[in-house]
Amino acid sequence: MSTVSAAQKKVGKAVNFDALTDLIQKEGVTQQEWLAIYTNCMASFNTMDTDKDQRISREEYIAMHGSDEGFDRLDLNHDGYLSKEEMMANELNKRSFGEADTDHDHKLNREEWIAKYGDDSGFNAYDLNHDGIVDENEWAAARGESARSTAAQKEFVSIDANQDNKISRAEWVAKYGNDDMFDAYDLNGDGVIDPDEFQQLHVAQETDKKTFDALDTNQDGKISRDEWAARYGSDKGFDAYDLDGDGIIDADEWMKAQGLKRSFDMADTNADGKLTREEWIAKYGDATFFDAYDLDGDGVVDAEEWIRGHAAEIKMKSLDADQDGKISRLEWVARYGTDGGFDEYDLDGDGVVDPEEWIQCEAVLADFRKADTDNDGKLSLMEWVEAFGTRSGFDACDADKDGFVTSKEYLHYKNHKYFTPRSRALPRPSDRNPGACPTYYPGYSLAAPSRATSSAYVPMGGGVL
């Protein structure tokens, strides 16, 4: 590894040399190479800097290149301008990529990576789209995170209490107070977070923030259904990202859902946008919860089902005070002040709500909230027809015949219409025919539940159950 000479510093005096020292030393840049890189970079910089304010605006960049493609990648501190240091860092990174790309196909495979660095450590963190290669954009994006990478490494060390170079769930909880994002960072699902996984999520989160800002066209700090549809052409996927079901996606929900989407992509080994039972078992070791996540019962789990399932699990953990993997009536009452709604969630009547029951009921209530367009906690006949395309099933669901379907009636009707001990799969509203009468368990009355309940709050959404 070469050292940085006084001559190199003299040549680079027009830039903040200290900001580039680590990168120059890491890449072993010689004095002659530094001079060539510096000369070419400054010539380009001075040509673009038409107003001579010692920084490149987006407009100046476009005037030179015809578009702003690549601008955000070069803008390492995301201040909306390119500095000399940022342009120099880009040139150094391009040099390093070219050295590693021995077959000159503008991408690095794992073998080329190993040839340059001796092993494949770090390869997966650079391979942002998980396609088995690192292209020039991925390389630049990952290398451009050098300052943030250092901060991420320090944070990793601060979480890794026993210094075994991996973060356990217990260490995560000790640092952050809960395990909400642990599974999103644990990309390979092995129960720990390694340095590559931690770094990869930190790199990706900058991109996620930019995407959120682009979607949030009115800049109110949240994404509405209309803003989502304007970007993607429909509202498909919106409800999966709206983790608390309040009709908007805030920044925290967006970041969590994006993290869960990445863990889905890692599990989806053939990249077909769905998980088979075999892929699920390969990730988790058995098929536990597969049927619970497969909400439409089609034998696969898509990304939306994955996100909704994980979001439901995260919320369930907040109720499960003794962390035994199920919710007792006492835990329910402790959270909501009454046991109203508990029996609707306890689908098999065993006195506890297990994760599969919870996930299914949360999915049902998400469908209810989407249909409840005026957010009054009940469905009118008009809302029912608009959501399902027919009035069939409305009268059967309206147990008290008051002309409205409450969330409690909807939850009871849907669960006991579709739930059987063999399968908890619940078709989506668009796929199911609401017209058929529900089949209840023997002795289970829709108008008179098996155990007395009182009014309570729906666990997601805040409507009266």
Q: Alpha-carbon distance 193 to 198, whole Å?
A: 6
What CA–CA distances, in Å, run from 377 to 17, 333, 372?
61, 21, 7
Torsion of CA 78, 82, 88, 91, to 10 degrees: 80
Tell me the β-bridge partners of 167: 193
H helical segments located in 326-406: 329-336, 342-345, 355-371, 381-388, 394-397
Distance between start and end Cα atoms, the chain: 67
H helical segments located in 346-451: 355-371, 381-388, 394-397, 407-418
Of 361, 216, 223, 239, residue with least CA distance to 304: 239
Give pLDDT < 50 ranges for the chain: 1-19, 147, 418-465
pLDDT the model gives residue 452: 32
Q: Alpha-carbon distance 262 to 184, whole Å?
A: 7
Strand residues in 145-278 grouped as ranges (E):
167-168, 192-193, 222-224, 248-250, 274-275
Domain ranges of the chain: 6-100, 147-314
Torsion of CA 20, 25, 30, 36, to 10 degrees: -20
Tell me the β-bridge partners of 193: 167
pLDDT the model gives residue 96: 75
Q: At what angle do helices 84-100 and 31-48 cross, to 10 degrees?
A: 130
Average model confidence (pLDDT) across the chain: 77
Q: Alpha-carbon distance 421 to 354, whole Å?
A: 13
As its CATH architecture, domain 147-314 has Orthogonal Bundle (1.10)
Helix (DSSP H) and strand (DSSP E) numbers for the chain: 25, 14
Of 268, 348, 347, 343, residue with least CA distance to 307: 268
Q: Alpha-carbon distance 358 to 201, whole Å?
A: 28
Buried b (16+ CB within 10 A) or exposed e, 238-264: bbbbbbebebbbbeebbbbbbbbbbbb
Q: Alpha-carbon distance 215 to 124, whole Å?
A: 28
Note whether 464 and 407 are within 8 A (CB).
yes
DSSP state of 18: G
Q: Alpha-carbon distance 241 to 254, whole Å?
A: 6
The yes-or-no answer to whether 6-100 and 147-314 have a common fold is yes
Reported as a single tens digit per residue, the pLDDT across 411-428 is: 888 876 544 433 333 333
Mention the CATH class of domain 6-100. Answer: mainly alpha
Tokens of 281: 């078992």
Q: Alpha-carbon distance 187 to 268, whole Å?
A: 11
Buried b (16+ CB within 10 A) or exposed e, 10-27: ebbeebebebbeebbeee
Can you give the pTM of this predicted structure?
Answer: 0.52
Q: Alpha-carbon distance 149 to 23, whole Å?
A: 13
Cβ-based neighbour number of residue 161 at 10 Å: 13
Cβ-in-10-Å burial (0-12, 13-18, 19+) of 233 comes to exposed
What value, to the nearest 5°, has the Cα angle with vertex 44 and ends 40 and 47?
Answer: 140
What CA–CA distances, in Å, run from 159 to 55, 175, 176, 252, 438?
38, 6, 9, 21, 51
